Amino acid sequence: MFDLIAAGKQAKQAARALAKATTEEKNRAVLAIADAIEACADAILEANARDLAAARERGLSETLIKDRFDLSRRMPGIIADVRKVAELPDPVGTVISESTLPNGLHAAKRRTPIGVIGMIYEARPNVTVDCAVLALKTGNASILRGGSEVFHSNVALAGAIRGALQTLNLPNVPPDAVQFIESTDRAYVEQMLRLNEYIDMIIPRGGASLHQFCREHATIPVITGGLGIVHIYVDDTANLDQAVEIAFNAKTQRPSVCNAADTLLVHEAVAAEFLPRAIERLSASGVTYRAEPRALALVGGLAGVQAAGENDFDTEWMALILGLKVVNGLDEAIAHINAHSTFHSEAILTQTQANADRFVLEIDSAAVFVNTSTRFNDGSALGLGAEIAVSTQKLHARGPMALEALTTYKWVVIGQGQVRP
C-alpha cells in the first residue's frame, strides 16, 4: 500500500525547502537528473519493453504504442530536454510589475512557486520526467500518478530521478520533492483530488473522462488540458501546395498527440482540387477518412474514404483518421469549429489577411495558427522548453504550460514606517 497522506506531508515539507533553493542548486538538481536517466537508460528501456509487450498483448494500436509508450527512440531527446531546462531563466523571484505609490510605499508583484503540484496522467512516460524537472526548476514539489499502461517505465524513471537527488544531497532540494505513486489502483486518483491539505494544484493529462472526473471530484484547483479536437481550415485563397504539406504534418507526424489534426475543413471553391491531392499525400502514410456528404461526393470513390458517423466530428482520433468537410466559406468554418472544438489548437490556411484576422479574433482556442501546422502548440516548439501540459482553460495558464505557468505571485510591499490614515 502506498501511503498518500505520508507522501503529501513529505512533499509539503520538500516544497518549503525548495522555496529556499537558489537557481544554481535547482540547476544542479536538474542536470543530475539528466545524468541519472542517461546512466540508467538500459534499465529504463528494459522496463519500457515490458510495458510495450503488455500493451501489444492487450491489442492496443501500434500507432499509439509507438507514438506514446515507446521510449526507445525518444530517450536522447528526453535527456536533452532536461538539460535545456537547466539553461532556461529561473522565473522565481522575478518582478512582474512594480510601482511607488504617492505615500512612498513600493509595491511589487513577485513570482513565487505554487507549492505542491499533483500530476495525473495516462500513457506517456516522458511526462514523469517533464513534470519532475519543471516543478523542481520552479521550486515546486510534485506528486505523480502515471497510467497503468507504462507503469514499469514510470517506476524506473522516477527511481532514477529520486536516486539523482539522493546522491546530490542538497538540503534545499530533497528527494521527497518528487513523489511517485507506485500503484495502479485508481482509488489513489480520487484520494489525490481531495488532498487539499498538501496538494496545491492538480493537472490531469488524459482523455475527456479523466478531465471530467477531476473537475467533479477535486477539492483543489484543477487545470485541464491535453484534449484536442483540432481543425484546419483551407480557405479559397490558400496556397494549396503549402496546405497539402501542412495537413500532412499536422496529421501524420505524431498522430496520437493532442495537437494533431482531427478535421480538415475545405472551402467549396477549392475542394474539388485540394481534397484529392491531400488524400493522395496523406494516404501514403496510412491515413483513412470520415467524410461528410459534400466531401464524400467529391472523393467517396477514393480508397480509405467512408461516410462520417454521427459523432465523428466530435472525436479526438489519436490515430491516422481524419474528418473531411466542405464548407461554404469562413462563416461556416468558424461555426463548425465553435460547435465541435475543445479549443486546443486551430489553424487557417489563407492568403487573405482579413480572413486570417477574423479567424484569429473569432476562434477562442488556446492557440490559433495562420499558415502553419497545429503541431507547433508545444512548449519546446514555441521556445518555452519542456512543457507540463497544454491548458485549454482561461484562468492562470493557457496553452503550453512551461516554467512561468508553474508559478504564482505574491505582493511585496516595502515602506519606511507608513501607516494607513
- Residue 105: count of CB within 10 angstroms of its CB: 14
pTM score: 0.85
State the Cα–Cα distance between residues 69 and 169, nearest whole angstrom: 32
β-bridge partners, 348: 233, 370
Cell of 356: 486570417
- The dihedral region occupied by 205, where left means phi > 0, alpha psi between -120 and 50, and beta the remainder, is beta
Are 250 and 374 within 8 A, CB to CB?
Answer: yes
107 and 207 in a single domain? The answer is yes
205, 237: one domain:
no
Is there a single domain that holds both residue 82 and residue 148? yes
The CA R_g of the chain, rounded to the nearest whole Å, is: 23
pLDDT of residue 239: 98
Residue 46 shares a structural domain with residue 194: yes
Stretches where the chain sits below pLDDT 50 are none
Parent domain of 371: 231-376
Same domain, 37 and 177: yes
CA–CA distance, 332 with 218 (Å, rounded to integer): 37
Q: CATH number for the domain including 304?
A: 3.40.309.10
Kind of pairing between the strands at 178-180 and 106-113: unpaired
CATH number of the domain where residue 9 is located: 3.40.605.10
Query: CA–CA separation, 360 vs 349, rounded Å?
Result: 12
Handedness of CA 66, 69, 71, 76 (dihedral sign): positive
Number of domains in the chain: 2
Residues 72 and 106 in one domain: yes
Is residue 165 located within the same domain as residue 281?
Answer: no
Is 139 found in the same domain as 9?
yes
d(CA 389, CA 248): 24
